[in-house]
């Protein structure tokens, strides 16, 4: 019986390679995970201090982060902390929340990079997250049902940016196959459609702000791809203007003596050929082009 040699997988080196990678998707995942680990560390370090001061505020770090870095739906609070529109996109306080978001971001970011552009992942993720946050604030200040929640609701997480990357990828390559556990191979467009529908029907069932943020991100991702394609189709459908005749620069260049003499010699030879044909067979034997040539020759000077 031959022993099977398992490949030597160095987890540490792979993590190091992933963190040092210049791939935009890897960098976004690294930033999100790094901030999550930092929050865990701060929570861990704060527990001995809270114990020594006999404090029962176990969520002191989380409360501070939510207050100063999560985006608030209360407009007066948001105006004093406008940076939260950006910082909230990188915040996660729950393990399953960040796990699901980062798996989706890594898979979808790879598809996005292949069919759109790697560096545009940054912009779609960031702007999709910001649009999602704006829709969250707008909905909580517009719909009457959120009247008593708008003063203290806070949004955080990468979901809006992730949904933007998903919607952009699904709009660009809707039939791209993705293999899902238990479901097998599924077209990317169906994944996007199902998740968007789930967000819509889940609005009354809790985490309404998060669902609005997801929908805002998805809308931005769709428009990011759709608008340039739509604009291009309109331009292609418009009648094209015929370019005006422009003389080439070479047409204005003076001829050299050699060029002039060569063209003059060739022209005279052609004239002699036509005249010889007239002498032998008469004028009526000439073709239409030859008659026009002979007529034009009679009007030319200096040849």
pLDDT value at position 242?
61
Query: Alpha carbon of 175 to those of 71, 155, 163, 189: distances in Å?
Result: 35, 32, 17, 6
Q: How far is it, in rounded angstroms, from Cα 224 to Cα 39? A: 33
Place of tokens 């790697």: 118
CA distance 266 to 268: 6
Range of the domain at 119: 15-237
| 67 and 207 both lie in a single domain | yes
Cα torsion 166, 29, 34, 67 to 10°: value is -20
DSSP type of residue 248? -
**Integer CA distances (angstroms), 150 to 88, 146, 201, 237, 251, in order:** 17, 6, 21, 47, 73
Same domain, 162 and 289: no
Q: What is the C-alpha to C-alpha distance for residues 123 and 108, in angstroms, rounded to an integer? A: 14
Name the nearest CA neighbour of 169 among 120, 126, 111.
111
Is residue 244 in a domain? no
Residues 163, 284 within the same domain? no
Return the pLDDT at 2.
Answer: 47
Q: Which helix (H) or strand (E) holds 178?
A: strand 177-180
Using the predicted structure, report yes or no on whether residue 273 has a pLDDT greater than 50.
Answer: yes
214, 134 Cβ separation under 8 angstroms: no
Determine how many CB atoms are found less than 10 A away from the CB of residue 39.
17
Q: Is the pLDDT of residue 3 over 50?
A: no
Mean pLDDT, residues 194-212 taken together: 94
User: Residue 250: its pLDDT value, please?
Assistant: 53
* Residues 14-54: tens digit of each pLDDT: 888 888 888 999 999 999 999 999 999 999 988 887 777 76
As given in the structure block, the two tokens for residue 173 are 């390559």
Does 268 reside within a domain? Answer: yes
pLDDT band at residue 221 using 50, 70 and 90 as cut-offs: very high
DSSP SS3 for 247: coil
The predicted-structure confidence for 227-248, as pLDDT tens digits, reads as follows 998 888 887 777 766 655 555 5
91 lies in the same domain as 172: yes
Q: With 0-12 CB in 10 A as exposed, 13-18 as middle and 19+ as buried, what is 168?
A: buried
Average pLDDT over residues 253-271: 71
Side-chain half-sphere CA neighbours of 252 within 13 A: 4
Q: How many domains does one find in the chain?
A: 2
Cβ neighbour number for residue 184 with a 10 Å cutoff: 9
- Nearest CA-CA partner of 75 in 151, 154, 143: 151
Q: What is the mean pLDDT of residues 210-228?
A: 95
Confidence of residue 99 (pLDDT cuts 50, 70, 90): very high
For residue 242, tell me if it sits in a domain: no
Map residue 184 onto helix, strand or coil.
strand
Residues 193 and 282 in one domain: no
**Are 32 and 98 spatial neighbours (Cβ–Cβ below 8 Å)?**
yes
Alpha carbons 1 and 123: distance in angstroms, whole number: 55
In a domain, 204, yes or no: yes
CATH code, 214: 1.20.1540.10
Residues 135 and 35 in one domain: yes
Task: Kindly state whether residues 146 and 170 are assigned to the same domain.
Answer: yes
Contact 164, 220 (CB under 8 A): yes
* For residue 215, pLDDT beyond 90: yes
Helices 120-142 and 208-237: crossing angle in degrees, nearest 10, is 120
Has residue 5 been placed in a domain?
A: no
Instruction: Say if residue 123 is in the same domain as residue 77.
Output: yes
| Higher pLDDT, residue 152 or 166 | 166
Does residue 249 surpass a pLDDT of 90? no
Q: Are residues 274 and 286 in contact, defined by beta-carbon separation less than 8 angstroms?
A: yes
């Amino acid at each position: 019986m031959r022993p099977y040699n398992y490949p030597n997988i160095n987890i540490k080196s792979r993590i190091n390679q992933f963190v040092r990678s210049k791939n935009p998707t890897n960098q976004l995942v690294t930033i999100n995970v790094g901030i999550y680990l930092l929050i865990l560390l701060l929570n861990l370090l704060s527990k001995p201090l809270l114990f020594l001061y006999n404090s029962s505020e176990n969520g002191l770090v989380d409360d501070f982060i939510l207050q100063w870095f999560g985006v608030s739906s209360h407009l007066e609070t948001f105006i004093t902390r406008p940076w939260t529109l950006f910082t909230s996109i990188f915040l996660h306080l729950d393990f399953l929340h960040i796990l699901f978001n980062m798996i989706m971001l890594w898979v979808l970011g790879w598809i996005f990079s292949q069919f759109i552009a790697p560096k545009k992942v940054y912009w779609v993720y960031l702007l999709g997250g910001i649009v999602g946050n704006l829709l969250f604030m707008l909905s909580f200040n517009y719909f009457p049902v959120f009247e008593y929640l708008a003063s203290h609701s806070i949004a955080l997480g990468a979901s809006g940016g992730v949904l933007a990357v998903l919607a952009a990828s699904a709009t660009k390559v809707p039939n791209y196959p993705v293999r899902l556990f238990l479901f097998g191979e599924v077209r990317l467009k169906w994944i996007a459609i199902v998740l968007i529908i789930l967000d819509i029907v889940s609005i009354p069932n809790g985490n309404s702000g998060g669902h609005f943020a997801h929908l805002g991100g998805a809308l931005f991702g769709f428009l990011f791809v759709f608008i340039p394609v739509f604009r291009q189709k309109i331009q292609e459908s418009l009648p094209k203007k015929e370019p005006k005749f422009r003389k080439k620069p070479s047409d204005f260049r003076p001829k050299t003596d050699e060029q002039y003499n060569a063209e003059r010699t060739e022209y005279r030879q052609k004239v002699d050929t036509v005249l010889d044909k007239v002498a032998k067979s008469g004028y009526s034997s000439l073709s239409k082009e030859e008659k026009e040539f002979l007529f034009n020759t009679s009007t030319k000077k200096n040849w």
